[in-house]
Structures are given as structure tokens and as C-alpha cells.
Amino acid sequence: EKRGYPHFMLKEIFEQPRAISDCLRGRLNLEDDTIHLGGIADQIDKLVDADRLIIAACGTSWHAGLVAEYLFEHLAKLPVEVEYASEFRYREALIDEDDVMLVISQSGETADTLAALRTAQERGALSLGVCNVVGSTIARDTDAGVYTHAGPEIGVASTKAFTTQVSVLVMMAILLGQKRGTIDQEYAKKLIHELNEIPGKVEEILEHSDSIKDMAKLFSYAPNFLYLGRTYNFPAALEGALKLKEISYIHAEGYPAAEMKHGPIALIDEMMPVVVVAATDHTNDKMISNIEEVKAREGRIISITGEENEEVINLSEFSCPIPETEDCLSPLLTAIPLQLLSYYIAVNRGCNVDQPRNLAKSVTVE
């Protein structure tokens, strides 16, 4: 079942080029630069006219939701709120029939996400789902939805579920942008064609997994890690930190890079690895200042950045260069070295990677 891989998690990390291709198949039309999402075709007009999109999810799926917030605001100019499903359901959340609720769940069975869905439905909002497990409760009970088609995910830590969720969300945002007339058609074309290149670029990153394996040996000692990112890669930083803590039991925190100055900087000393997730965008200069602030306090910089971002690479003790892509697609690539880093650190520490203590694959209790 593990097809020669020592763990399901590693197998699933390496499956991502195929999982993302399966997710995109039949949905990207490269001839006329359109996107076809059959599962939501009947409801798309309601989404086009919506006042607001509310996204509810937990854990890794919530991180995909945060990426979606940037995507929908940027490409479709639609106001978005991203909620922890567990908080949304117990608040007096203001949601009505002019809003759309989007729930994201790999398993489609997460109790809090399901409860958030029910709340939205009681208030009359259209509900959409992004799920992996076909026929799961959330997939069945939403008004419409899009499957990620990642295939079964056995490792408790989500990997291919995340990158396929983000792939679906990118497609939804482009489609909505086209329908709302908020995205320039040339830019839509560029994104559609670039999205089609993502599986190949993920493959390229995976070919360099040995260098991440070697690097992991040097950082497996650390009791704490800090992850920093900006814009689209702020959620990627959160996801990197979650991956590390759940499988290696190392305390890790993800922050928007600028927030470092508002507290976490006090933690930095020569023992502290700081993983900087820096796709090359308009925030690059700001990231460089953050890196300098960390180095001035002897923190150890590991960067995950575009292969042409020499400035960041040269300032880093270790760097995992990734192929260049559009900013809004970059979490699909930066996620991969983050997954590999936590996997190899967990293995070095002798942790049970596929079945971390205290965790279950599907959280059906509240």
C-alpha cells in the first residue's frame, strides 16, 4: 500500500504532482482560457451576486481558506471572511441569504465544520463545499461543491489535501473573477496556463528532496521554530508550523512576518531556526529586512523562495529554491519543502509520522 515508501505521508507528498493533475483535469480549458467546475455550475450565479463569502474550516483546511481569502479578494473582488468553524458556530455570526458559506474539509466529516455549515443553512445562505472524500457528510449536505480528487489521504498530517484544496480555490477564484468581470482576460489566461504548469514544478521540487533531508539533520535538535510569511505565503507559514508541531512535537509558530516585531522577536537567539517563506513579490524588500532583523539576533535562517531571488538566498544559512511562478499560485509550491522539512525532522526524531500521538485523521468529536 505504501508502494515502497517508508510512510504514507512521504508517499502522499510525492503523489502531489499526480493529485494536482487529477484535480485540474477536465477543469482547465487551455484552448479558450476558461474554467469548468461542473459541481458548482448551477449555483455560480448566486456566488457572482453574493455580498460576501464566508469560509469555515479547521486546521490545514482553514489554512487553505486563508489562501482563498487573498485569492477571492484579489481576483474576484469579493469580500471574504475566514472563520475557524468552531468559533463561527458558537458566535452570534451575522450571516444571511445574501452571503455564501464555503466549507473546506478533506474528510467531509469534521464535526465543527459540519455544525458551521448547518448554522449557515439555517440562516438561508447558499452553501458550497470543497471536500476530498466523495459522498462524505459535508459533500452530501452542501448545496453544491467541488471535489479535490486527491485520492485517499492516509497519513494523519494533511499534505496532498492542502495543495489540491488550494488548486480548487484558485480555479474558483479565477472563474468567479471572469464572471464578475474583475479579472483582466490576459491575466486570467496567464494564470490558467501557469496553473497547468504547477504539477511539473512540484515534481522539480521533489527531485531535490535529498537536500532538504540533509538540511533536516542540522535542525532536528531545535525545541522551537518560527515560520514567517507575507501575503499568500502567510498561510503557508502557518501550515508549515502546524505540520512541524503535529508530527515532530517541536513547538512551532507561524506569523505574518511583520508581526515578528510585536512579540516573537524576543524569542530569537542562536538556537532558533526561522523559516522564511518568501515568494518573490512586492513584499520582498520587507522580507529582506525581516531576515536581517533575525540575523542580527543570531537566529538561523532557512528560506523557501523563488530560485531567482538571489538576495534572500544569499542571506540564508539554508535555502530551498523553488521554480518561479505567479504570486497567487506560490503556496502550491512553497508547501512542498515545508512538508518535506517537517517529515524528515520527525523521522530523525523517531516520531510516528503517520500516526502522531493524540491525533485522529478525522475529528468527529466537538
Q: Please report, as ranges, the residues that interact with ligand F6R according to CB under 6 A.
A: 58-61, 105-107, 110, 113, 157-158, 242, 246, 362-363
How far is it, in rounded angstroms, from Cα 15 to Cα 20? 9
In the complex, minimum distance from the CB of residue 111 to ligand F6R, in angstroms, rounded to a whole number: 9
Q: Report, in Å, the least distance between residue 103 CB and ligand F6R.
A: 8
Residue 361 known to be catalytic: yes
Q: How far is CA 145 from the centre of its chain?
A: 19
Of 299 and 356, which has the nearer Cβ to ligand F6R?
A: 356
Smallest distance, ligand F6R to C-beta of residue 117, A:
11
Cell of 313: 538566498
In angstroms, what CA-CA distances link 117 with 130, 139, 168, 310?
A: 12, 11, 19, 45
Place of cell 503535529: 246
Residue 322 has φ and ψ, to the nearest 5°, of -120, 155
Residue number with CB closer to ligand F6R (114 or 294): 114
Q: How many CA atoms lie within 13 A of 70 on its CB side?
A: 17
110 vs 231, which CB is nearer to ligand F6R?
110
C-alpha cell of residue 338: 515545508
Residue among 138 and 278 whose Cβ is closer to ligand F6R = 138
Minimum gap (Å) between residue 110 Cβ and ligand F6R = 3
How far is the C-alpha of 160 from the C-alpha of 169, rounded, in Å?
Answer: 14
Q: What are phi and psi of 211, to 5 degrees?
A: -70, -30
Catalytic residue among 179, 213, 295, 361: 361
Kindly list the catalytic residues.
361
